[in-house]
Amino acid sequence: MVRYRPSLTTAAVAVVAAALSLTGCSSSSSKSAAAGSSSSTGSASSPSATSSSSSAASAPSSSSSAPPVRDPNTDLVIWTDAQRAPVLQQFAQSFASANGISVSVQPVATDLQSAYVTATAAGKGPDIVVGATDWIGNLVQNGAISPLPLAASQKSAFETTALNAVTYNGQVYGVPYATENLALITNTGEAASNPATFEALVANGQAAVKAGKASEALAMQIGQQGDPYTAQPLLGSAGGFIFGTKADGSYDPAQVGVDNAGSKAFAAQLAKYGEKGQNVFKRSIDANNAVSLFTSGKTPYLISGPWALEQVRKAGLKYAISPVPGFAGMGPSAPFVGVQAFYVSAKAKNTALAQEFTLNYLTKKDVEEALYKVDPRAPALTEAYDDVSKTDPDIAAFQAAAAHGVVLPQIPAMSAVWGPLGIAEAAIVGGADPNTAMTNAATQIKAAIAKG
Span 201-223, pLDDT tens digits: 999 999 999 999 999 999 999 99
What does pLDDT average to over the chain?
87
- Report the alpha-carbon distance of residue 319 to residue 312 in Å, rounded: 8
| CATH number of the structural domain 10-35+181-336+409-451 | 3.40.190.10
Q: How confident is the model at residue 70 (pLDDT cuts 50, 70, 90)?
A: confident
Give the residue range(s) of CATH 3.40.190.10 domains in the chain. 10-35+181-336+409-451, 49-180+339-407
pLDDT of 55 > 60? The answer is no
- Report the alpha-carbon distance of residue 359 to residue 69 in Å, rounded: 24
Q: What's the N-to-C CA distance of the chain in angstroms?
A: 31
Q: Which residues contact 282 (CB under 8 A, 6 or more apart)?
A: 216, 222, 275, 429
- Return phi, psi of residue 77, to 5°: -120, 135
Residue range 152-174: average pLDDT? 95
* Torsion (CA) 300, 303, 304, 306 in degrees, nearest 10: 70
Q: How confident is the model at residue 62 (pLDDT cuts 50, 70, 90)?
A: very low
Q: How confident is the model at residue 69 (pLDDT cuts 50, 70, 90)?
A: confident
- The share of the chain scoring above pLDDT 70, in percent, equals 85
Q: What is the structure's pLDDT at 109? A: 83
- Report the alpha-carbon distance of residue 244 to residue 202 in Å, rounded: 30
Total-model pTM = 0.84
Q: DSSP state, 337? A: E
pLDDT of 301 > 80? The answer is yes
Q: How confident is the model at residue 73 (pLDDT cuts 50, 70, 90)?
A: confident
Cα Rg for the chain, rounded, in angstroms?
Answer: 22
Name the architecture of domain 49-180+339-407.
3-Layer(aba) Sandwich (3.40)
Count of other CB atoms within 10 angstroms of residue 94: 14
Under 8 Å between Cβ of 175 and 339: no
Q: How confident is the model at residue 435 (pLDDT cuts 50, 70, 90)?
A: very high
Report the Cα 42 to chain-centroid distance in Å: 12
- Return phi, psi of residue 128, to 5°: -135, 140
Residue range 329-343: average pLDDT? 97
